[in-house]
Amino acid sequence: MNARRARGFTLIEVILATVLLASGLALAFASLRAASATATRGEQIAHRDERMRAVSNFLRRRLSSARSIAFALDAASGQQLRFSGDGEQMRFVADLPDYLGRGGPYVHTLHVVRNGDSSERIEVDLAMALGGQTIAESPPRPPDVLVDGLGNVRFRYRGMNADGQLGGWSDTWDTPEALPLQVSIDLADKNGRAWPGLIIALQLAGSEGGGNGLGAPDRL
């Protein structure tokens, strides 16, 4: 036995030990990479969910608090404009909180802008509403980017039809002297993943002399 110990390890034993050690290290590094990838993926999902919540909350709060206040006058018809909208832009008046340093009614303009990489973003312009007019800031303030990196944006509107029933969704709001009853906003990332749909009820639709949204088209 003493003679065998003196000989030490054989070449086969050394190779076998090296292979086992390498296999163990490879398994450990693979587990570490998998854990790191899982953590990174979790952070990306959490960031995406947080962004969706923030954007959805902003849109819901601003639109649900829209007021039937005129922000312009249609030169052709003489009607006061209280809400305008199509598939990529909408304008309405809502109060801004005092803590933003801009308290009072402001015209909100949400519009879709296409980036050079074929993605889209939503920008927000704010201007004071006073005496049925939109008062631009001086010096002008650039629009704020609400959300970027979108692949699809769609705004739709819904009001009462001529029979007094809730009409279908339309890509344009054809009764600008009144607020729609509901606004639908569909968003998707540039990779095609859809965001949870938003259907927002305008709480003050039909109040403050703005009409009741009659005449909105029934196109689906």
Q: What is the pLDDT of residue 49?
A: 80
Q: What is the pLDDT of residue 102?
A: 65
In this structure, are residues 179 and 137 in contact, taking their beta carbons and an 8 Å threshold?
no
End-to-end CA distance of the chain: 92
- Exposed e or buried b per residue across 198-220, where buried means at least 16 C-beta atoms within 10 angstroms of its C-beta: bebebeebbeeebbebeebbeee
pLDDT, position 116: 84
pLDDT digits (tens, 9 = 90+) for 126-140: 998 888 888 887 788
The DSSP secondary structure of 104-123, one letter per residue, reads EEEEEEEEEEE-TTS-EEEE
* Residue 208: band (very low, low, confident or very high) from pLDDT cuts 50, 70, 90: low
Res 188: pLDDT: 94
**pLDDT over 50 (residue 217):** no
Range scoring the smallest mean pLDDT among 34-48, 67-81, 167-181: 34-48
Q: Provide the pLDDT for residue 182.
A: 96
More confident residue, 220 or 111: 111
Q: Burial-class residue 30 by CB neighbours within 10 Å (0-12, 13-18, 19+).
A: exposed
Average pLDDT over the chain reads 83
More confident residue, 171 or 49: 171
- The pTM score is 0.73
Q: Is the pLDDT of residue 211 over 70?
A: no
Residue 93 is predicted with a pLDDT of 95
Cα separation, 150 vs 190, in Å, equals 5
pLDDT value at 151 more than 80? yes
pLDDT at residue 189 is higher than 70: yes
* Res. 89: pLDDT tops 80: yes
